[in-house]
Amino acid sequence: MKSKNLQISPAMEDYLETIYLLVGERKVARVKDIAAARGVKPGSVSPAMKKLAAMGLIRYEQREFIDLTPEGEEVARRTLARHELLRRFFHDVLNVSQKNARSDACAMEHYLSDEGVDRLTKFFEFIQRCPRGSKTEFLDRLHHCPLVNPGQPDCDHDCPEVAAMSRTPAVRRSLSDLQPGESGTVAQVDAAGQVRRRLIDRGLIPQTTVEVVRNLPRGSVRILVNGQETSLTTQEATHVVLAP
């Protein structure tokens, strides 16, 4: 029984993932449960099940319990592996809340290439094994570095940058220090909330090159980011820390 449609859509992957989890949790998957888990109405589930059955991915007799075929299980597991990989990256590495980590991951899992899976896995292998024995050493630094998270006591990881910071008050150069014609590389967006969002949304993320085109009246600067011009208030510009 060949599948008629070789491409599996995001929605179909999610149905398979959901069935897989339901069968794992409570032995059986029913239309009602699938609908609840996916946040859709039962009326949407029945036709979807018909389709998945036609593709040979589930075993489905009307009104009976739903079960994955080996091929469906394959897809479900692959999808879930991507889901977990991304969720862990967001939650465990980036410290995104569980809720957002989960929903971002479940949306993006359908678009992560095989190469992406491979390399993201390598990343976990690295932070698990390389950094000096303790498996959380790298994450510790990431989550507690006072350079990035102001208010953190100290990273106690003999980091010369931090030491330098506590010696000299602040040798930081910001975007507001640049003269028209000069350019620099963003090192950090030293702001929170709305200001931070606005700066990031304008493309001012670390490692981006930014050039000051000219100063505008009324305390604004015209800048060039990603080959495109925008304006910023000088106030905002002081929050963009540049690499030395």
Partner DNA sequence: ATAATCTATTAAGCTCATCTAACAACGTTA
Partner DNA sequence: TAACGTTGTTAGATGAGCTTAATAGATTAT
Q: Shortest CA distance to 173 belongs to which of 109, 98, 237?
A: 237
* 5 contact choice in a second copy, DNA, Mn ion, none (CB below 5 to 8 Å, kind-dependent): DNA
131 binds a second copy (CB under 8 A): yes
191 binds a second copy (CB under 8 A): no
The answer to whether the beta carbons of residues 95 and 143 sit under 8 Å apart is yes
100 binds a second copy (CB under 8 A): yes
Q: Which of 51, 83, 91, 239 binds Mn ion (CB under 5 A)?
A: 83
- CB under 7 A: which stretch of 8-16, 80-88, 101-109, 154-162 binds DNA? 8-16
The DSSP annotation for 36-102 comes to HHHT--HHHHHHHHHHHHHTTSEE--TTS-BEE-HHHHHHHHHHHHHHHHHHHIIIIIT---HHHHH
Question: What are the two backbone dihedrals, phi and then psi, of residue 157, each rounded to the nearest 5 degrees?
Answer: -110, 60
Q: Binding pattern to DNA, positions 24-63, x when CB under 7 A? A: ------xxx-----xxxxxxxxxxxxxx----------xx
Question: What are the two backbone dihedrals, phi and then psi, of residue 230, each rounded to the nearest 5 degrees?
Answer: -150, 170
Minimum CB distance to a second copy smaller for 50 or for 118 = 118
| Residue 168: Cβ-neighbour burial (10 angstroms; 0-12, 13-18, 19+) | exposed
Q: Shortest CA distance to 120 belongs to which of 107, 105, 135, 132?
A: 105
* 116 contact choice in a second copy, DNA, Mn ion, none (CB below 5 to 8 Å, kind-dependent): a second copy
Q: Which of 3, 9, 97, 152 binds a second copy (CB under 8 A)?
A: 97
Count of residues touching a second copy (by CB under 8 A): 76
Q: Which of 9, 24, 64, 177 binds a second copy (CB under 8 A)?
A: 24
The answer to whether the beta carbons of residues 79 and 16 sit under 8 Å apart is yes
Question: What are the two backbone dihedrals, phi and then psi, of residue 42, each rounded to the nearest 5 degrees?
Answer: -55, -35
Which residue carries 């449960």 as its tokens? 33
106 binds Mn ion (CB under 5 A): yes
Count of residues touching Mn ion (by CB under 5 A): 5
- CB under 5 A: which stretch of 1-9, 105-113, 126-134, 216-224 binds Mn ion? 105-113
- Which residues form the interface with DNA (CB under 7 A)? 5, 9-12, 30-32, 38-51, 62-63
- Which residues form the interface with Mn ion (CB under 5 A)? 14, 17, 83, 106, 109
